[in-house]
Structure 1
Amino acid sequence: MKIISKAIMLVSLAFIGQSLKAQENHGNITSVKVEESEGKMPAIRLINNPDGTCSFEKGYIPTLKHASTTTFWSSNKTEDWEKNAHPAPRRQYVVTLKGKIRFKVSDGSTFLIKPGVILLAEDLKGKGHSWQMVHTKSWERLYIPLQEGADDLFVASYDSKK
């Protein structure tokens, strides 16, 4: 119960006022910088391409907007299949509480997720994505599935493509 209370508190705090600013692209790894800004939470959305590959776009989730969800769960375990390329099992937010994760999408580009940046997994078909932990041994996260057909609330940044 204590971990759930901590997770809810962290998610609540996270949804109050941060925005996304892209840092310079180092090699082919995109990193995002989390800075305080009223009304926005930085986010990266995984999307399917017509050719069956997956790519991503940078943007934000507006704060204080209610997403259509009915459940969530936490995880700090990983299975081998999760680290191999796979599509998302459902449309969902993945909120990192602890850890730094490098995602690789099937178009070859990569990006980093850290606490304060919401991942929106919507790459439901094709080759999908893979990930690995960076300078950490565990990844603590919340999975928050979206209801079927619900608005994901994602707003793409002007420079959303890598």
Structure 2
Amino acid sequence: MMTTDFAETPTFLKAIRLININNDDCSFETGKIPAQQNINANYFFAKTDVSSLENIPHPAPRRQFVITIKGKLKFTVTNGDTFILEPGVVLIANDTKGAGHTWEVIEGDVWERIYIPLGNDADDYFIKD
């Protein structure tokens, strides 16, 4: 039987944004981004390696969205606050200065993710909680 009912589409996606505050310290804020928003990006790339930066403080190399496909991680910012990143949560890496953040895989041994670098003046459409 054919039906014309459509699955409900969420209006927003849960997001966490890494930011620079006070003297380039790294912090984060929780919020959301619109689900149907076009993002100003020219390319994306995937990565699975976890050995290169795990548990090593670093800033984001550029403003970018990080979409986790597989893995559960704990991120730590400058003051020691932490958050959990897992599939279904969009990370907006916007802490491009200072010591940055650390992360570690807390379930399994893999982090599959897609990076979507943002254009220099592109809006990240983040709405803070």
TM-score, length of structure 1 as denominator length = 0.72
What are the superposed Cα offsets for residues 80-129 of structure 1, whole Å, 9 maximum, x if unpaired?
A: 33530000000000000000010001121000000000000000001100
Rounded to whole Å, the distance in 2 between the matches of 1:81 and 1:60 is 26
Structure 1 ranges of 4+ moved more than 4 A: none
Q: Distance in 1 between matches of 2:117 and 2:24?
A: 23
Name whichever structure is richer in helix by fraction.
1
How many residues are matched? 122
Q: Are 1:134 and 2:111 counterparts? A: no
Structure index of larger Rg: 2
List alignment gaps of at least 5 residues for structure 2. 1-7
Within the alignment, does 1:99 sit opposite 2:87 as a pair? no
| Amino acid aligned to 2:120 | E
What 5-or-longer segments of structure 1 have no aligned partner? 1-15, 18-37, 158-162
Asked if the contact 2:54–2:104 (Cα under 8 Å) also holds between the matched residues in 1, the reply is no
Distance 2:77 2:22 in 1: 14
Give the match for residue 3 of structure 2.
Answer: none
Match of 2:59 in 1: 87
Q: Which residue of 1 aligns with 2:4?
A: none
For the pair 1:60 / 2:48, whether they are aligned, the reply is no
TM-score, with normalisation over the residues of structure 2? 0.90
The answer to which structure has the higher strand fraction is 2
